Amino acid sequence: MRKVLNKKAVLFAGLVVSSGSASSSEVEVLHWWTSGGEASALNLLKQDLESQGIGWTDMPVAGGGGEQAMTVLRARVTAGNAPTAVQGLGFDIIDWGNQGALANLNAVAEKEGWDDVVPEALKTFAKVDGKWVAAPVNVHSTNWVWANKPVLDANGIEQPTSWADFEAALKKLKEAGITPIAHGGQAWQDATVFDAISLSTLGAEGYTAAFVELDAEVLRSDEMKEAFDRMAVIRNNVDDNFSGRDWNLATAMVINGEAGFQLMGDWAKGEFVKAGQKPGEDFLCFRFPGTADQVTFNSDQFMMFDQGGEVSHEQEKLAAAILSPEFQSSFNVVKGSVPARTDVSDAAFDSCGKQGMKDLIAASESGNLLGSMAHGHAAPTSVKSAIYDVVTAHFNGEYDSETAVVELADAVEISR
Ligand code: GAL
């Protein structure tokens, strides 16, 4: 029995009942997977559904990190025209679930045994009031560095294992006339870099205190100031045309040897795979120096929007396809992420994928599996956006580090 809905949710339910939902035997899916690697991975899901006689109406909304997609989603829902399924992250899923906007997937979850194989860290964001409201597709993580191996070899650079090593490598690349760091100047990308950098100066406990507990002292701490000082070093090692560049075009700079490094989530791996490059030969993947034992994760999940009444047959089919062991292997091999189930073999994964799967288990067992602040798994969206604003303002030179930590603590306090 659906719990008594608050006024807003009742209004919402009314809107949805009149929704122009996708006609039967097809699903309309809103997502932001528009890069080469992302589209290749998504195609596997489309093909799976079509093989089951379910058509796929694609609703891509470009914009890394999904902010643009969430804006379009809000407009669609307000118009009473919610898509069948929507890619979502962490706290956004909880928000929609709490509004009563999402279908109940408990029947398919029970039939498929999800509770036994999906890690607790993902269930935190997939279930609201004991109801499954989303199907987890993968586990990405953000504290990775991607490097062009021939470029490093040609400049006598070993894989850096400390911040000092990393700075020395940047200096060598700059002296060789190679862009040290490929980056896209967009707030979500600046924040993604900040995930790794702040983890390296705060440690796991400090990162949790800052971005989950929103502890003002830690937000203003010397370790947080050091994180901003390191961000200034990153800023001084990107090329002149970094502003506004899409993340996958930055990855292409590393793939083609124009740049040495990119600090980015492991969706970047999907671009190397798409380009036919091999880990250990053409490129390196490694945890940002100082964060080798930690993982800042974000899981892509598909929210099934209530189309008026019970969950639809097509939504259940889509959800079951997403969490099937076969799809969990084939999709994540291409996407650069790791499976959302704990019982999938790493046999099909390359060395970076195997490392990612190993790191996830180790971090989960050691208490070092941390929700990514930049990708909506540490704090509600209002707080995430407030952090984005301060980090990107600092990256663009509006604040020095001393000012940034004060602005950060103030912005978080106001946004919570
Ligand atoms: C993340 C998402 C990834 C990838 C990335 C770049 O939020 O989890 O799957 O899409 O954004 O857009």
Residue 151: CATH number of its domain: 3.40.190.10
Distance 11 CA to ligand 1 centre (A): 31
Per-residue pLDDT, averaged over 332-360, amounts to: 97
Q: 267 with 334: CB under 8 angstroms? A: no
Could you tell me the residue range of the domain that residue 217 belongs to? Answer: 141-296+362-415
Residues 52 and 166 in one domain: no
- Give the nearest ligand 1 atom to 32 CA: 10
Q: Looking at the structure, do residues 396 and 259 belong to the same domain, yes or no?
A: yes
| pLDDT value at 6 more than 80 | no
Q: Cβ neighbours of residue 409 under 8 Å, at least 6 residues apart?
A: 216, 219, 220
- Among candidates 389, 410, 415, 285, which has minimal Cα distance to 337? 285
Any domain includes 172: yes
H-helix or E-strand spanning residue 144: strand 144-148
Determine contact, residues 95/305, Cβ cutoff 8 Å: no
Distance 252 CA to ligand 1 centre (A): 16
107-137 pLDDT per residue, tens: 999 999 999 999 999 999 999 999 999 999 9
Looking at the domain assignment, is residue 119 inside a domain? yes
Q: Sheet with 55-60: list strands edge to edge.
A: 55-60, 26-31, 85-89, 300-304, 134-136
Q: Which residues pair with 285 in a beta bridge?
A: 146
pLDDT of 44 > 70? The answer is yes
**Eight-class DSSP state of 123:** H
Residue 355 lies in a domain: no
How many domains does the chain contain in total? 2
Q: Is 66 in the pocket of ligand 1 (CB under 6 A)?
A: yes
The reported pLDDT for the residue numbered 308 is: 84
Supply the pLDDT for residue 8: 44
Asked if residue 103 and residue 14 are part of one domain, the reply reads: yes
Question: Which residue, judged by its Cα, is nearest atom 12 of ligand 1?
Answer: 64
Same domain, 119 and 230: no
Asked if residue 377 and residue 231 are part of one domain, the reply reads yes
Tens-digit pLDDT profile for residues 190-213: 999 999 999 999 999 999 999 999
pLDDT tens digits for 358-383? 999 999 999 999 999 999 999 999 99
Residues 134 and 62 in one domain: yes
Q: What is the mean pLDDT of residues 333-353?
A: 97
5, pLDDT greater than 90? no
For residue 265, the ligand 1 atom closest to its alpha carbon is: 5
Give me the mean pLDDT over the 236-251 stretch: 98
Considering the domain boundaries, does residue 356 fall inside one? no
Is 140 touching ligand 1 by the criterion CB < 6 Å?
A: yes
pLDDT at residue 23, rounded to an integer:
55
- 310 — pLDDT class (breaks 50, 70, 90): confident
Do 147 and 136 share a domain, yes or no?
no
Pull the structure tokens for residue 409.
């603590």
Ligand 1 midpoint to CA 107 (Å): 28
Asked if pLDDT for residue 413 goes beyond 50, the answer is yes
- Name the token pair of 320: 């079951």
On the question of pLDDT at 21 being above 90, the answer is no
Say how far apart CA 89 and CA 65 lie, in whole Å. Answer: 9
- Which DSSP helix (H) or strand (E) runs through 286? strand 283-287
184 lines ligand 1 (CB under 6 A): no
Same-domain pairing of 212 and 240: yes
Task: Answer yes or no: is the C-beta of 375 below 6 A from any ligand 1 atom.
Answer: yes
